[in-house]
Amino acid sequence: MATTVGVGACAGFLGSMVGLGGGLVAIPLLTGALKLTQHQAHGTSLAAVTATGAAGALSYGSVGSVDMVAAMAIAAGGMATAPLGARLANRMSQRKLQMALGGFQLAVAPLVCLKPYMTREKDTEENVKGAPTVQTEVSFSSLFPMTALGCCSGVLAGLLGVGGGTVVVPAVTFLTDHGHHAALGTSLAAMVLPSASGSLAHYSAGTLVPSVALPLAIGTAIGSSGGAQLASTIPEESLRYFFTVFMIFLGTRTLMKVK
């Protein structure tokens, strides 16, 4: 159990620092350290994503960096499609699931580093002032694209066992007036309900291991709270470069293990 809690704490800490649920970190550790099958790892990691999102959202919310209107719109779409992603995962072979995860990890690696070049004004303001309080909520005209965004992230959650933060964080920045820290907090809040929905689907299919999911969730809740607090004190550029290098490492390692 101590190993599982440690895996969860590591995944939650690293995930919440860059607005992710920790699934991209947890899955390689679950298949490596805990010897779960690829399908079990994807299903069980959603329990960690749920805990990371809840704990991280509370931390970001305590400083006013969560837009709950946007988060609920995204969550509504995600709850509808997460079970679909889970069913797709259960129909794929272990080899294809590994390839999908590794390819996704490599594909998202540069996204966080590229984002500031398209949203430089917002990020510069945040780097000067720190993590600001959300001043303006998402307009109701943006609710439809937010819900559509949630549908996409929900499929990713169910299929790959991730929270979808790699898609949600830049999208929230583009669709609203929020900067990076507010997008991180909103992303974490938005992934809670879809991840819980996907977890139930995986549990029904027998690909969620309860004896691992519970200590994993406890570890991620602890780690994500600390990660979110630390993230608000670290320059965003450093976080982005760390995320990119780490994702390249994990993606390469995942693809090298494909048999």
pLDDT per residue as tens digits for the range 141-198: 668 889 999 999 899 888 988 877 777 877 887 777 777 778 888 888 998 999 999 9
pLDDT of residue 133: 53
Q: Where are the alpha helices (DSSP H) in the chain?
A: 2-17, 23-32, 38-61, 68-91, 94-108, 111-118, 120-129, 143-160, 165-175, 180-190, 192-205, 210-231, 236-256
Assess whether pLDDT exceeds 60 at residue 131. Answer: no
CA atoms within 13 A on the CB side of 120: 2
Lowest mean pLDDT among 47-51, 110-114, 134-138, 204-208: 134-138
pLDDT of residue 21: 65
Which has the higher per-residue pLDDT, 153 or 136?
153
Assess whether pLDDT exceeds 80 at residue 231. Answer: no
CA 73/CA 82 separation, integer angstroms: 15
Assess whether pLDDT exceeds 70 at residue 119. Answer: no
* Segment of 94-103, 116-125, 250-259 carrying the highest mean pLDDT: 94-103
Token duo for residue 71: 């988060």
Taking residues 213-242, report their average pLDDT.
Answer: 81
Percent of the chain topping pLDDT 70: 86
DSSP letter for 133, please.
P
pLDDT of residue 115: 61
Give the largest CA-CA distance in the chain: 50
Lowest mean pLDDT among 33-42, 145-154, 231-240: 231-240
Residue-wise over 101-133: b if at least 16 C-beta within 10 A, else e? Answer: bbebbbebbebbeebbeebeebbeebeeeebbe
User: Mutual orientation of helices 94-108 and 143-160 as an angle, nearest 10°?
Assistant: 130
Taking residues 7-24, report their average pLDDT.
Answer: 76
pLDDT of residue 128: 44
Assess whether pLDDT exceeds 90 at residue 111. Answer: no
CA–chain centroid gap for 229, Å, is: 17
Which has the higher per-residue pLDDT, 32 or 139?
32
pLDDT band at 129 (very low <50, low <70, confident <90, very high): very low
